């Protein structure tokens, strides 16, 4: 099995797309006419705007309830430099963490809804 996509409920799809593209360098994709997602390698984050979610949906879709980890090959210092340029504060890190397949060097930031986003390099 593998994860294909995860859904984030957000306050504003435009604000979320702006953050993930500018701060994290990820691609925004439009599909099924006007739906939006954030492409992350072979997976994606589908976006549901609070109050306008697509069915079926989680029982309690709530902006800011997500906690995700994104592993990148980009050196963490380059990520830190880009985050500083666009004014995104570092919540925690860099520090060592344990990921699904081994150790990570991670930093933590919050997206515009307050979701915790861990950005890591595999060690």
Chain segment 34-66, per-residue pLDDT in tens: 999 999 999 999 999 999 999 999 999 999 999
According to the model, what pLDDT value does residue 37 have? 97
According to the model, what pLDDT value does residue 96 have? 98
Q: Domain holding 96: CATH number?
A: 3.10.180.10
According to the model, what pLDDT value does residue 50 have? 96
According to the model, what pLDDT value does residue 90 have? 98
Q: Look at the chain and count its residues.
A: 123
118 catalytic? Reply is: yes
- The answer to whether 17 and 25 have CB atoms below 8 angstroms apart is no
According to the model, what pLDDT value does residue 70 have? 97
- The answer to whether 37 and 47 have CB atoms below 8 angstroms apart is yes
How many independent structural domains does the chain possess? Answer: 1
Chain segment 64-107, per-residue pLDDT in tens: 999 999 999 999 999 999 999 999 999 999 999 999 999 999 99
65 is in which domain, residue-wise?
A: 5-122
According to the model, what pLDDT value does residue 52 have? 94
Residues 6+ apart with CB under 8 A from 112: 10, 11, 12, 15, 16, 19
Catalytic residue (one of 27, 53, 91, 118): 118
According to the model, what pLDDT value does residue 103 have? 98
């Amino acid at each position: 099995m593998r994860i294909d996509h995860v859904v984030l409920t957000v306050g504003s799809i435009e604000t979320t797309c702006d953050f993930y593209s500018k701060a994290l360098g990820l691609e925004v994709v439009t599909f099924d006419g006007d739906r939006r997602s954030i492409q992350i390698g072979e997976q994606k984050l589908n976006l549901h705007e609070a109050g306008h979610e697509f069915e079926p949906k989680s029982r309690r879709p709530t902006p800011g309830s997500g906690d995700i980890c994104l592993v990148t090959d980009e050196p963490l210092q380059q990520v830190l430099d880009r985050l500083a340029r666009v004014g995104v504060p570092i919540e925690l890190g860099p520090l060592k963490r344990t990921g699904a397949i081994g150790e990570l060097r991670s930093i933590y930031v919050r997206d515009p809804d307050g979701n915790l986003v861990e950005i890591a390099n595999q060690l």
